[in-house]
Amino acid sequence: MVIKKLKAAFLILLMVGVTASQPLFSSNRKVREAVDNSLVVAVKQYRLMAEKLKSQAGIVPKSFDKNGVLITSDAKWWCSGFFPGTLWYLYEYSKSAALKSDAELYSERIKGEQFTTDNHDVGFIIYCSYGNAFRLDPKADYRNIIVNAARSLSTRFNPIVGQIRSWDWGKWQYPVIIDNMMNLELLFNATKFSGDSLYYKIALAHAEGTLKNQFRPDASCYHVVSYDKMTGAVESKGTFQGFSDASSWARGQAWALYGFTVAYRETRDPRFLNQAIRIANFLLNHPRMPKDLIPYWDFDAPNIPNALRDASAGAVMCSALIELSGFATNKDSKRFLKAAETQLLTLSSPDYLASVGENGNFILKHGVGFFLRNSEVDVPLTYADYYFVEALMRYKKLSP
């Protein structure tokens, strides 16, 4: 009976499309026009990018450095699924056969990662690409790839700790990063596709453990929590990419917002909705959040207001807020959607949106990857593009 209900819920998700929520309709003409313009630019940029790399087998774009050099990676890089995933979204928007062909080609390049067990990013890699592929073209092969990837990811779950392990390196005994919340969508959907409740149970346990151990009283989150793998006790709480152990790394807060919104969508557990709303309030009410709602790379960066903004954090947050607006009560719903509209306008402005043929054919400028190591700082990033296009598509579906 449980599995039948899960399959029925999945059918509803397919009918609704990008999100299972029921947000407010938007009648903001200025935002709708900005969204349409950004999607037109995105299609042109990614067609150019896809053509540029088509002859380089196994390669996907990663970033574009300040010297004008396109940075690429193979399928192993944690971001490899974002480019094909964005191509699928742009195919959904444009109905272009050429874009569908591009999406299929670049998805095929990362297909082998369905069997990866040595990192937690298989969720990012496979679900952002093949999750969208199956949603738009529900082939059995795509479904099987998703289930295989979930099986691989599940090998990293320790039932004593109750969490999916993030890294196999570093000073931590059993590190779990907030980014892991983004990989649960793969597991939730693998249960729908396979009928095996194990994946759902692992995702639920991970969300519950993260809720219990990863947050401060103000709803900000630690980047890394390490556990004793023999007892499951918390060993340490801190950061790897943020400014300090006590700081609020912006993209980490955005991952948390998005992850708990998805966890609520898939479980309807009110604890997860409450946490998503608390995170949203922390972000939107933060005294160091800029008025245009594109955050500094860390809310506690010492040189604010001169610290770099992170378009990737803004894009993730924007996409999450649009979906969350469909789950929140009326007052919060309007507030979250209005905030997302502000972010869409900002990211669609010349300050962040690239001109066609520039920015290495990426869509957004000014992403911040790993500031403290001077890695991918103030450059375009494939995940910034992915969540921006997802936000554009989610918003477009709100239009009357």
**∠ at Cα 251 (190, 75), nearest 5°?**
50
**∠ at Cα 285 (385, 334), nearest 5°?**
70
Q: How far is 367 from 313, CA to CA, in rounded Å? A: 8
* Active-site annotation holder among 65, 102, 121, 168: 121
pLDDT band (50, 70, 90) for residue 5:
very low
* H-helix segments, 17-66: 29-53
pLDDT band (50, 70, 90) for residue 19:
very low
- Partners of 10 in the β-ladder: none
137 in catalytic set: no
* Active-site annotation holder among 102, 179, 310, 385: 179
The answer to whether 362 touches 49, Cβ cutoff 8 Å, is yes
Tens digits of residue pLDDT in 245-303: 999 999 999 999 999 999 999 999 999 999 999 999 999 999 999 999 999 999 999 99
The string of DSSP codes covering 289-338 is S-TT---BSBTT-TTTTSSPB-HHHHHHHHHHHHHHTTTS-HHHHHHHHH
Quote the mean pLDDT of the chain: 94
Q: How many domains does the chain have?
A: 1
Average pLDDT over residues 221-240: 98
385 in catalytic set: no
Tens digits of residue pLDDT in 76-88: 999 999 999 999 9
The CATH number for 211's domain is 1.50.10.10
- Partners of 237 in the β-ladder: 225
State which residues form the domain around 119. Answer: 2-396
Read off the amino acid at residue 65: D
pLDDT score, position 132: 98
